Amino acid sequence: MGINLNPFTWWNGATIGTWFGLRGKVVVGEDSLGNVYYQGGSDTNGNPRRWVIYNGANDASRVAPEWFSWLHHQVDDLPDRALPAARAWEQPAMANMTGTPLAYRPAGALEKGGKRSAATGDYEAWTPDA
């Protein structure tokens, strides 16, 4: 797939036009998922323009939370300097797994056998005559 589809499909990664647009822009960092972040130029309000080039499929849930805040101008400096260190109880960021075999499935889901635990007596079914 790679180079043959790259000029025409944006969902497989950055297109050739994106790479040409990033000429002269500065690489400012990379996150734990391998996404690369760029900055350069300014928008119509005078704010610096910021980009992410995804490592893999273009999916906004693949942006780490600290870099999300940088991309959306919630912090001015780079995340490792502007934000406090991660807490011991924090888990690393994950991409959204919906639609994949790794998606969360509750106990009663059909993909897990469709068996749910019996009602405990605190549930009363609605009937139209009630």
Kindly tell me if the per-residue pLDDT of 9 is higher than 70. Answer: no
Q: How confident is the model at residue 5 (pLDDT cuts 50, 70, 90)?
A: low
State pLDDT tens for residues 85-96. 888 998 887 778
Contact status, residue 21 vs residue 14, Cβ threshold 8 Å: no
Mean pLDDT of 14-39: 80
Burial of 2 (0-12, 13-18, 19+ CB in 10 A): exposed
Where does the chain have alpha helices with state H? 2-5, 16-21, 65-71, 79-82
Q: 80-84, long-range: CB within 8 Å, 24+ apart, which pairs?
A: 80/29
Sign of CA dihedral 73, 76, 79, 82: negative
Contact status, residue 51 vs residue 25, Cβ threshold 8 Å: yes
Cα 53 to Cα 45: distance, rounded to the nearest angstrom? 23
Cα 53 to Cα 37: distance, rounded to the nearest angstrom? 6
Mean pLDDT of 110-118: 77
- pTM comes to 0.63
What is the reported pLDDT for 38? 92
What is the reported pLDDT for 11? 55
Q: Quick one: tokens of 6?
A: 């790259």
Which amino acid is located at 4 in the chain?
N
Where does 72-130 have alpha helices with state H? 79-82
What is the reported pLDDT for 8? 58
What is the reported pLDDT for 112? 77
Q: Which of 12-16, 48-52, 113-117 has the highest mean pLDDT?
A: 48-52
Is 121 or 126 the better-scoring residue by pLDDT? 126
Give the mean pLDDT of the chain.
80
